[in-house]
Structure 1
Amino acid sequence: MFSEPTNRPTPHNAPTQATIQRVWEHALHEEKMHSDRSNFFLVAEAMLFVFYATLDASTQIWALVSICALGILLTLMWVLIAMRQEGDFDLAVERLELFAEEYPDYSDQRDGWLRAKGMTILGRWVPSVVGIAWIILIVEILTR
């Protein structure tokens, strides 16, 4: 996805401890941004579900469909922003693997389908389940 870094460290241009610390902090920042944004969208979706659930049976269909459509739109925004943030994090991790000698060994030990990245789960699977719930609600409304 990302191009191979061309400025690999050599004995002549080895990174300083300050550089490694800065790259580490950047990776932590990207991970925190992803987590914060996922939490924001999860709370927003939950509030929208609560709003939908509090409406009574006399509510007009167009209002219910509008709420579901807003939920689907919010879910799509969640997925797109999470994918972009995941790409930013992956780039930061690539830089970290370039500068911190022990990090590639750690990340290689985490490979495998049972070790899916938390960002992938929070950024793609959770919103997908929420989106499916909105679609089910729309289908239920339209088939009454």
Structure 2
Amino acid sequence: MIEVIHDCAEHARQPLVRGMFADRKRLFIDLYGWDLPASEGRYEVDQYDTADTLYIIVANEAGEHDASIRLMPTTVPHMLADIFPHLCPTGVPVGPDIWESSRLCLPQRHGAEGRRVAIRRKPPCGGGEGAVLRVLV
């Protein structure tokens, strides 16, 4: 099942959202060693997880986080403009129809093959959000 969540603060207590942030912490902080904040020592949440953020989350049959990606409108502060503008020599793309994707999270528990590949190939459950997930994953 694919869930599209806007404004995670509104859904912060939802197990699916907590699972996503916990998996992000295990992947980006614990495994990759990125120097990022860890809320309550359990969740990877940064300054770009705001009311403007859109999350596309793949949930398994039990409703638990299987994969996710974060989308930010470029009309508000976002990582590419704030931290990585040097990656855009002709200027950071900005506009109401341009979104930044980050924090693609495919948890290690799925293994490098098998389950992770199945998640990437999972048929979309919705319209555009499923298409976005298939393109980005």
When the two structures are superposed, what TM-score results if normalisation uses the length of structure 1? 0.22
More helix by share: 1
More strand by share: 2
Higher Rg of the two aligned structures: 1
Higher relative contact order (CA 8 A, sep 6+): 1
